[in-house]
Amino acid sequence: MNKKDSGLKSERILDVAEELFALHGFDGVTMRQISTGANVDVALASYHFGKKLDLFYAVFHRRAELLGNTRREVLRNSLQAASGQPQTLEQIIEAFLLPLKFAQESGDPGWKNYMALLAYVMTSPVWSKTLMKDNFDKHVGEFIEALKVIFPKAREADLHWCYHYVSGALALTLAQTGRIDRLSGGKCQSSDFEAAYQRMIPFMAAGFRAVCGKETIIKNR
């Protein structure tokens, strides 16, 4: 097998594993199911990635760094665009959500599976402790610091609780469970991230203001 074929098969294994883990979680998937879906031998999947746990980590890490770095870049670009003025609350929330919107619009169907997998990991006491800590938690501090600038009188605990609620709403949206489709009688689609995105920013901003108080805007002189 040449390197090109080996690389293509590795990507196929990752894609199939990503889809299956997103649908059934870690415990609901076997290496045989993954290898069958990828049309490779179980031995080959094990050769490339080792045990199922190693493959699960590989699937999660594959897109995590890109997503985390893009989110941080959007936040920093927003700060630079403010030309010395504090960012608005809506800009900070947008920086948190926008990379997810970009991913959904990328045309890569794997991102939809990854978003559902991310929601699964975010809401798991086991996986969140290991995978979120190493990949996404390290970026949260920048968002909290940005929030402190516009809410200087807010208690830090309130900022973290608000961030916690934002993460929860985001996790449910990313999971795309189809429940809102049923509850709304088809008026809403859980797969319509554009519609969710447009509503999440004002909804989340109102929550921050209700808990943390009114923003303090410091203008340059």
Q: How many CB atoms lie within 10 A of CB 52?
A: 18
Closest Cα to residue 34, out of 53, 14, 51?
14
- Show the beta-strand stretches assigned E in 66-189: none
| 100/71 Cα distance (integer angstroms) | 8
Comparing 78-92, 106-120, 123-137, the range with the smallest average pLDDT is: 78-92
* Statement to judge: residues 119 and 24 lie in one domain: no
| Averaged pLDDT, 78-97 | 80
State residue 66's pLDDT score: 84
> Looking at residue 68, what is its pLDDT?
82
pLDDT above 70: percentage of residues in the chain: 93
Q: Is pLDDT above 80 for 216?
A: no
Residue whose tokens read 């689609």 = 189
Same domain, 42 and 124: no
Q: Is residue 218 part of a domain?
A: no
pLDDT at 87: 82
Among 38-52, 83-97, 120-134, 148-162, name the one with the lowest average pLDDT.
Answer: 83-97
Domain span holding position 102: 57-213
Query: Does residue 65 share a domain with residue 46?
Result: no
- The encoded tokens of residue 29 equal 């998937």
In the predicted model, what is the mean pLDDT of residues 195-219?
88
Residue found under tokens 């997998």 = 117
Cα 55 to Cα 27: distance, rounded to the nearest angstrom: 13
pTM of the model: 0.82
Q: Which residue has the tokens 């006491």?
A: 125
pLDDT surpassing 50 at residue 160: yes
pLDDT at 220 over 50: no
Same domain (yes/no): 38, 16: yes
What integer is the mean pLDDT of 14-30? 96
